[in-house]
Chain A
Amino acid sequence: MTDAPLLKVRDISKFYGARIGCRNVSFDLWPGEVLAIVGESGSGKTTLLNCLATRLMPTSGTIQYRMRDGQMRDLARMGEAERRFLMRTDWGFVHQNPADGLRMTVSAGANVGERLMAVGDRHYGNIRETAGDWLRRVEIGLDRIDDQPRAFSGGMRQRLQIARNLVTAPRLVFMDEPTGGLDVSVQARLLDLVRGLVHDLGLSAIVVTHDLAVARLLSHRMMVMKDGHVIEQGLTDRVLDDPREAYTQLLVSSILQV
C-alpha cells in the first residue's frame, strides 16, 4: 500500500425527500484495500455504494479519487464523458443480479471484450484471446466463449460479470452483494475466486453485504451501517471479534448462533 489514499470520502449524505438514505459518511480507501459495508436491508449501504460509484448524486459531501496520474479529482466536478470513461476503464461494478451487469443476448466472449472495444481495441484475434484468458481465470471453459450468458448457471454468470469488469485492469471495484443470489456451495467457490483475484491484482474494492461471513473472508476493514449512519468501523477482525456497539454485537451474535 502506498501512502496516499485512492478514494477520499467526506460527509456524504443522500436524502430521498425527507427520508434519509445515508448521512455524513466519511472514510479513506487505500490502494489494495478491501472495505466491507455491512448492515441490514434499508440501512443505507446500497445508497452509499451508489453514491460512491457516481450512480447516484449525493445530496451533499465530496468524493475524491486519485487518477492514474496521481491527481486527486472531485468526482462531482468531472464531466460526464470523463466519468463514464473512468467507470468503464479504471473502475468495475459487480451487481448482485448478473443480468444487470451483463448483456444477456451477447456471447460471453463479447461480454468480456466489450470494454476493450470501447477503449479502441480493434484486433478481433487479440480481443478474443484476452477474453478467453479471462474466462479461464474465472474458471469458465473456453468452449463456452461463444455461448450467451442466458445459457449459464447463476454462479457462472456472476463469474462472467467479474471477468467483464476486470478485463481493463481496473484499480477500484464496487460490489453489491456479489454472492447474494447464489447457493451456499456456489457462494464459497465464488468468494474464494474473488479473494484470489483481489489479492493477485492488488485491487481496491468496496463490497456491500448483509453477510458477515463475506465481510470476514474478503475485507480488511469494515463499516457497520444502521438507519443511514455508520455506527462502527475498524479492522474487520477487530469489529467481528470485539464489537463495541450494541447493534454490532447483536449482529455478530445473531450470525454466530446460526
Chain B
Amino acid sequence: MYVAVKGGEAAIANAHRLLADRRRGDRSLPSITIEQIVAQLGLAVDRVMAEASLYDRAIAALAIRQSRGDMIEAIFILRAYRTTLPRFGYSVPVETSRMLVERRVSATYKDLPGGQLLGPTFDYTHRLLDPSLLRDEQVEEPLQRDGEQEPVMRVSDILAGEGLVEGDGELPAGHVPGDLTREPLEFPMARDLRLQALARGDEGFLLSLAYSTQRGYGNNHPFVGEVRMGEVEVELDLPELGFAVSLGRIQVTECQMITQFKGSVKSPPQFTRGYGLVFGQNERKAMSMSLVDRALRTDEFEEDVVSPAQDEEFVISHSDNVQATGFVEHLKLPHYVDFQAELDLMRRMRREHDERSREEPGDDTLEAAQ
C-alpha cells in the first residue's frame, strides 16, 4: 500500500546536524578562531564585508566560519543580519583625498605628489607555492618609513587643475543620495544608486564584464589614473551640534579610471571617468567597478548601447550574487505541480499526434516504406 512521504521536519533537522558536523570537521584539530580568520584570511573577510555592505570584520569572519568558507553563503548570512539593523543616519561622503594611504599606484604618471606606494600587494610576487608556509615560519616585521608624508594628491585633482578631466559631477539640486537597500529599484537609475549596486555586486561578474569592455564589447580606452587603498574617516552630521563628528576609520580601496575623452562645440574635450570604491582591500573589484561604471554612463555621453556591459538593466539586474544564487538554486525545490501540468499536456499532444499520423500516414511512414 502507498504511504505518502512524510517527515520533512525530521529530515531537515538531521541534515542540519550533519552540516554542523562537516563544518566542524576533525574534532582532534583545534577549531579555527574568529581572530585567526580576521588576521589571516583578511581578503576573504574584506570581500564578504564589501558584498554584504556591512563593515564589521569580526561578524564577517563569523559568517565565513559559519558558511564553511563559502563566500556567497557568508555574504548572504551577513546581508540577512544587516537588513534588520536600525539606521541611525547616513554618513557624510568619505574624503578619499585625506586617506591614510597604504598603497597608491598610478599608471598615468611616472611620479606624482605623494609618490607611488606599492603597499601589501601580490603584484610582482612570483606565483610559486611557498613550502615555508606549510609550517608556522617566522615572518619578518615590515619596514616602516619615518617622518612626515607629503599629501597624496588625487590624480583626478591633478588633471582637473588643467580642466582636462570631467569633474565629480553635480547631482540635481535637492537630490538625496538613494539607498537601494531601503527603496525599490527602478530603471533607469541615477548614478549614485548604480554605484551602490556595483559596490555590492559580485566580484566575478563585474570582473568578467569589465574584461569584456577591454575586449571590444563597449571599450572606453581606460587608464588607471590611480588606485589607492588605506583608511578614511567616517563622519556623521549631527544637526544638534551643527558639525560632523568622526565615527572611526574604515579601510577602503578606490579606483579612478581615466577614460575616453569627449567634447562638443559647447564643451572643450575632456577625459571622462569611471569610479570604483569598495570596503577593505580589493583592487580587482574596485577596478572592475570603475570600468563598468564608465560603460554604463551611455546616457550622459549619448553613446549607443551595443554591449552587455553598457546595458544598465542587464548589468544591475544580474550583478547581485545573493539574488542570483537563490534563484538559480531554487530550481532544486519541488516543481512537481507545474511539471504534472506539462506532463499532462505532453501526453495529450502525443496522443493527438499519434491519432493524426494514424489517420494520414505522413512522410515518416513513407520513408520507412521506402
A residues contacting B by CB (< 8 A) are: 17-18
Contacts and interface: CB of A to CB of B under 8 A. Distances in A.
A18 B265 CA distance: 7
Which 3 pairs of residues, A with B, have the shortest CB-CB distance? A18-B265, A17-B264, A17-B265
B234 to A, nearest CB: 42
B298 to A, nearest CB: 16
A17 B264 CA distance: 8
Interface residues of B, number: 3
Contacts of B264: 17-18
B188 to A, nearest CB: 17
A16 to B, nearest CB: 9
A63 B273 CA distance: 41
B306 to A, nearest CB: 16
Interface of B: 264-266
A17 B267 CA distance: 11
A32 B264 CA distance: 44
A18 B266 CA distance: 9
A123 to B, nearest CB: 22
Contacts of B265: 17-18
Nearest to B264: A17
B263 to A, nearest CB: 11
Contacts of A17: 264-266
Nearest to A19: B265
6 contacts: A17-B264, A17-B265, A17-B266, A18-B264, A18-B265, A18-B266
A223 to B, nearest CB: 29
A18 B267 CA distance: 12
B26 to A, nearest CB: 56
A9 B55 CA distance: 61
Contacts of B266: 17-18
A222 B265 CA distance: 34
B356 to A, nearest CB: 15
A213 B266 CA distance: 42
A17 B265 CA distance: 8
A208 B231 CA distance: 62
